Structure 1
């Protein structure tokens, strides 16, 4: 890796923009880690508010934090808590997000929802796009999650394209995921990312294809591959030096023990899509509906797969964040010498 001497960026802050807005609450540990260039991993919160039911979501939240800390990084769950953008939710706030009071309903918060939710004191789980925005404001460079949103099937008629893709095109945060959700049009999703100039790599030697959420191989060639966390971290570091201001997507194939082969899951997905069409499900409701229907049709197998690859993604994401911290701290040491 020919990083040294590529661009001299001494004493220049290239990976964050302005100081965080005053309306954002940043946990003291997270703030200190960012300021001292320790590894931090952002976590979304829609998986807690809209993904996995209570108490499994709470158990998972605590387990993900433990995985990140075991890798030597600091976890930062991001959410809106009573209208307050929060980076590094406390245990009490996480429990509140996982089990809302009966008189409250939480929303999914993407870019379009942020200003409204803050202005009206709303609580919500941040999507990939919403999490990227707040992570970047707080100076966090690595974000690990489950699966990416994308171009929905039939988008020629519906124009249903996730804001996650737009955010990757304009917000310099590295997203570590199991690829795009298998319910999407994967070919169009990755074509869209190419148009937006988003770097996409898959974990594995050259020639390993992009994963497909539940399945290890989508059949779609990956533009690039990386074989170690350090290789991924080097790309993130160089993306900052070049001030490209675009995100990066690092795809992690689901571990073999949690995989649902394409031959098994594709028919299930088609049945779920037909059910959605028959019931008139559209817009923001389509993804949770399809994932819940797939859960029913697989007898819970899809949830086991989902939980398995989320944990794996978080572990890899923490390793990448740690490698990024080491690269940049070593570079600073070399510059002082």
Structure 2
């Protein structure tokens, strides 16, 4: 909400996410850092602060201790949120899209800490795959190497965030939130993995961003990154802003649908897990 959505939509969407979770019967706990204090379950004033302040840091897992000691306001990435949620005993986490292996990573070594964090963090993450700005195939290979299972929700194709289908197959799929909960319970009872579980929840094809428009805007955005020499954690905010401007808001509408759908599914999974 601090680095992925424009104002004032970000605060409105943050509130809608929490209401979506409540409506499905679960309890929302939005995570962030306020004045150096990690908060699991931001209140309305704290949500507004992180959504409207100009100096909110983007915090991955590695940044948490430094940011806490320096007393900053921070919005947590998937890696940081997963780590904090698991430490707090929260078994299910909803987000938009995962980070992953960046294009040309063989030269840059640019890979999101989301992947390595999920390799040792026992939490279920509901997402719309990874953003299509990444190297999707390489990301799936890394998840396999790291021992992080990926299941498609009513699909055998891995979604590409704005796109319902990234072009990559999945080995496993589930048809219901109850099946996800049973996987979580089986992992605990067998005790064979401390890694996370990724539930890939694609948009319906008729709700995705037009693929031709997507490909054209992505190519322009990648060229802009190269011209401006943007790298690291600044890449995703830049490209999301570029998509919003170049698609005249259509990508924002898709982004919001993704987040709300994932929040609803995650709430149903949490409910099924709590009441087997």
Regarding TM over 0.5, the answer is yes
Matched, 1:293 2:246: no
Q: Deviations over 1:153-185 (max 9, x none)?
A: 110111100000011111001000000011000
SS of the equivalent of 1:108 reads strand
Q: Displacement of 1:295 after TM fit?
A: 1.6
- 2:92 aligns to what? 142
* 2:179 corresponds to which of 200, 225, 231: 231
Matched, 1:281 2:230: yes
Whole-Å separation in 2 of the counterparts to 1:138 and 1:71: 21
Q: Displacement of 1:240 after TM fit?
A: 2.0
* 2:13 corresponds to which of 60, 63, 66: 60
1:93-242 → structure 2 map (5 Å cutoff): 93-100=46-53, 105-204=55-154, 208-242=156-190
Q: Displacement of 1:54 after TM fit?
A: 2.3
SS of the equivalent of 2:152 reads strand
Q: Displacement of 1:296 after TM fit?
A: 1.6
- 1:3 aligns to what? none
The count of residues paired between Structure 1 and Structure 2 equals 275
Q: Which runs of 5+ in 2 are unaligned?
A: none
Whole-Å separation in 2 of the counterparts to 1:248 and 1:152: 21
Aligned alpha-carbon RMSD (Å) = 1.1
- 1:306 aligns to what? 255
Rg (Cα) greater in structure: 1
SS of the equivalent of 2:29 reads strand
Whole-Å separation in 1 of the counterparts to 2:50 and 2:207: 27
1:67-78 → structure 2 map (5 Å cutoff): 67-78=20-31
Query: TM-score, normalised to structure 1's length?
Result: 0.80
- 1:332 aligns to what? none
Q: Displacement of 1:257 after TM fit?
A: 4.0
SS of the equivalent of 2:163 reads coil
Q: Displacement of 1:245 after TM fit?
A: 1.0
Q: Deviations over 1:17-65 (max 9, x none)?
A: xxxxxxxxxxxxxxxxxxxxxxxxxxxxxxx111112221111111111
Contact 1:258 1:309 in 2 (8 A): no
Whole-Å separation in 2 of the counterparts to 1:75 and 1:255: 25
SS of the equivalent of 2:83 reads helix
Query: TM-score, normalised to structure 2's length?
Result: 0.97
Whole-Å separation in 2 of the counterparts to 1:175 and 1:221: 19
